[in-house]
Structure 1
Amino acid sequence: MNIVHPAQTEQWLADSASESGQPALLLDVREPWEVQTASVKPGDGYTVVQMPMRSVPARYLELNKEQPIACMCHHGARSAQVAHFLMQQGFSRVANVHGGINAWSQEKDPSVPLY
């Protein structure tokens, strides 16, 4: 599993998408109330999908195994578990956003609220 810091996430997604020929995805595994509190907007070359961690085992087949996926949660623990799970299921281009949306707000986009 790759670990990327928020400031590196867009570059990792762009590079991975270029290598794989697949569109990149930022997978937000937080709960719906958390997404309502603070969220990341889609960027150049990647989309954002919300899939709460507890729903991933039932829904991971909705994802493309060849697609680059950067997982994100509040601080990085849940997303690390999801990234590890996806790799066990045969996903080849997976990263965890180190520090989650909390670090994203502090390192990349201060308009994202802290909670």
Structure 2
Amino acid sequence: MFYQVRPNQMDSWLAQFAGQEQLPLVLDVREHWECDVVRLGQDARFEQVFIPMADIPARWHELDKERPVACLCHHGARSMRVAAYLVQQGFAHVANITGGIDAWAHECDPGIGHY
């Protein structure tokens, strides 16, 4: 099972992993061109990794199953599919960022823009 987390709830989701050896991961599953248009700003509370959804089956082994992962896409549909896939692969702490980067821009950081 994975959690559905709105962007304005990320503070709470991230707080539960504070003090762990590895930072939680925001896994951006959008296409490269989308990441070139809009991306999250740097945040000391998490690391960002970009792996397009189509590449996840071949590349999920690059991720640590014990590391908390929050999946992100444009509106939340692709990231929800990836979150479910990661749970099937045995990942322990998975969340889908509901509403995606579009909701993030509305709820948390309007300066990142929209597309």
Q: TM-score, normalised by structure 1?
A: 0.93
Q: How does 1:4-83 map to 2 (within 5 A)?
A: 4-18=5-19, 21-83=21-83
**Runs of 5+ consecutive residues of structure 1 not aligned to the other structure:** none
Q: Deviations over 1:52-77 (max 9, x none)?
A: 00000000000000000000000000
Q: What is the CA-CA distance between 1:112 and the residue it aligns to?
A: 1.3
Using a 3 Å threshold, how does the CA distance of structure 1 residues 10 and 27 change in structure 2: closer, same or farther? Answer: farther
Counterpart amino acid of residue 82 in structure 1 = V
Query: What fraction of aligned residue pairs are identical, expressed as a percent?
Result: 48
| Residue 109 of structure 1, CA deviation | 0.2
Q: Would you say the 8 A contact 1:16–1:93 is kept in 2?
A: no
Q: Deviations over 1:5-53 (max 9, x none)?
A: 10111331231354x6432100000000000000002312211110000
Q: Runs of at least 4 residues of structure 1 off by over 6 A?
A: none
* Structure 2: 5+ residue stretches without partners: none
C-alpha distance in 1 between matches for 2:92 and 2:56: 17
